[in-house]
Amino acid sequence: MLQPTLQEQLFDIILNRFPRRVDAVEALCHLLHLAKDPIYRRLRGDTPLLPQELALLAQHFGISLGALIIGQAAH
């Protein structure tokens, strides 16, 4: 079985913090200054997050990218 990508892991944690997916999408739109379509493309993995987007999301949501990379992320 393939391991989830860093982007998939990050979004999984973020989405689990919201009661509804649409609420998470709205928050991501606001935070990344993007419309819904580019957010959904990132959520599906069609568009990779830019390094600065990864850093911004991790910092804003208090997620350790290092922990995700070594597989010790706590949900």
- Render 2-71 in DSSP notation, one character per residue: PPPPHHHHHHHHHHTTSSSHHHHHHHHHHHHT--HHHHHHHHHTSSPPPHHHHHHHHHHHT--HHHHHHT
Identity at 51, one-letter amino acid code: P
| pLDDT at residue 71 greater than cutoff 80 | no
The reported pTM is 0.88
Question: Which residues lie closer than 8 Å to 45 by C-beta, 6 or more apart?
Answer: 5, 7, 8
What are the pLDDT digits (tens) for 6-55?
A: 999 999 999 999 999 999 999 999 999 999 999 999 999 999 999 999 99
What's the pLDDT score for residue 1?
A: 58
**pLDDT given for residue 64 in this prediction:** 93
Three-class SS state of 74: coil
